[in-house]
Structures are given as C-alpha cells and as structure tokens.
C-alpha cells in the first residue's frame, strides 16, 4: 500500500501543472440516463475518458492520472453523500425495530462495519491491480482507475432507496 501511495503522490505533482479539460458532466449525464445498476456501473470512467480525449496529452501517463484522479474525487464525494443517507435510513430502521430486537446489532452497525471492511478490500484490490504493471508507467493510472471503479461500485451499492 505504501508503494501505491508513493506512485499516486508522484503522479499528483505534475498533474497540478497540466491544464486538464475535466468536467463531471459526462458521468452525471450517463447516470441520469441509466436505468439499472449495471448501466450505472458502466458510467464509471465516462468523464475521465472525455477528459483524456479533450486534454492535449490526455493519453499520457500524467494526463490519464489527472483525469482519473478528478473522476475518483467525484465518485468519492458521491459515496460520502450516499453513505450519510444510507446511515440515516439504517438508524431509522433500527429505531423502528421491535423491543425484542433492540439489543441485537442493527442496520446502522452492519452498514458501518461493511463500509469499514470495504475500504481495505478496495485498497488491496487496487494494489494488486497496480502490481500487474510491474512498476511500469501504467501502474499509477491502473491504480487510479481501479480506485475509481471500486468507489463507483460502492457508491451505487449505497445509492439511496425509499
């Protein structure tokens, strides 16, 4: 994980100097039109892909890293928002439980534990993905793409209901 963090840190500095043509609109539009979970999963990467196309040098390692990092931030913000809504819903469910079940772990605790378990899973899955590049220049973008994809999946898993 330390190695993955080092790669991501190295990518971040040059990206700040690059004029990325990034907007969240591609992903947002895709999500608005998608009618199923699978179709929504396919939206992950839409804005990053458009950024790579629109940014001069967008298909370079630095360009890819910058575009992917921006979309990762989009999904991370949406994940945090969905988690807050899901936690509020879980707490409401717990409050409505029969008295005989009040001492048992409820939905809020299960949600919290699930999210805490997901974070190391995501990190290890993406460290593995990065390792497939054997330290090559594609390692950083591969790790960021994985983080974005995993975060998108978790975001959609926690999408508000009811």
- For residue 162, being part of any structural domain is answered with no
- For residue 135, being part of any structural domain is answered with yes
Q: Could you tell me the residue range of the domain that residue 121 belongs to?
A: 2-157
- For residue 112, being part of any structural domain is answered with yes
97-156 pLDDT, tens digit per residue, is 887 777 778 999 999 999 999 999 999 999 999 999 988 899 999 999 999 999 999 999
Q: Is 45 left (phi over 0), alpha (psi -120 to 50) or beta?
A: left
> What is the distance between the alpha carbons of residues 69 and 148, in angstroms, rounded to a whole number?
8
Total structural domains within the chain: 1
- For residue 42, being part of any structural domain is answered with yes
Q: What angle do CA 53, 39, 93 make, to 5 degrees?
A: 125
pTM metric for this prediction: 0.84
- For residue 91, being part of any structural domain is answered with yes
- For residue 30, being part of any structural domain is answered with yes
Long-range Cβ contact pairs of 107-116 (< 8 A, separation 24 or more): 111/83, 111/86, 111/87, 112/87, 115/83, 115/154
- For residue 136, being part of any structural domain is answered with yes
29-87 pLDDT, tens digit per residue, is 999 999 999 999 999 999 999 999 999 999 999 999 999 999 999 999 999 999 999 99
């Amino acid at each position: 994980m330390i190695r993955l963090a080092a790669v991501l840190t190295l990518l971040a500095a040059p990206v700040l100097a690059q004029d990325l043509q990034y907007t969240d609109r591609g992903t947002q539009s895709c999500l608005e039109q998608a009618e199923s979970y699978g179709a929504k999963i396919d939206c992950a990467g839409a804005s990053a892909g458009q950024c790579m196309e629109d940014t001069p040098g967008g298909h370079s390692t630095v360009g890819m890293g910058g575009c992917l990092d921006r979309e990762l931030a989009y999904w991370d913000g949406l994940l945090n928002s969905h988690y807050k809504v899901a936690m509020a819903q879980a707490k409401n469910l717990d409050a409505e439980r029969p008295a005989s079940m009040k001492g048992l772990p409820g939905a809020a605790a299960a949600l919290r534990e699930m999210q805490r378990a997901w974070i190391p899973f995501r990190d290890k899955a993406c460290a593995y993905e990065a390792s497939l590049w054997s330290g090559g220049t594609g390692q950083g973008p591969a790790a960021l793409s994985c983080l974005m994809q995993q975060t998108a999946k978790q975001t959609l898993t926690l999408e508000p209901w009811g």
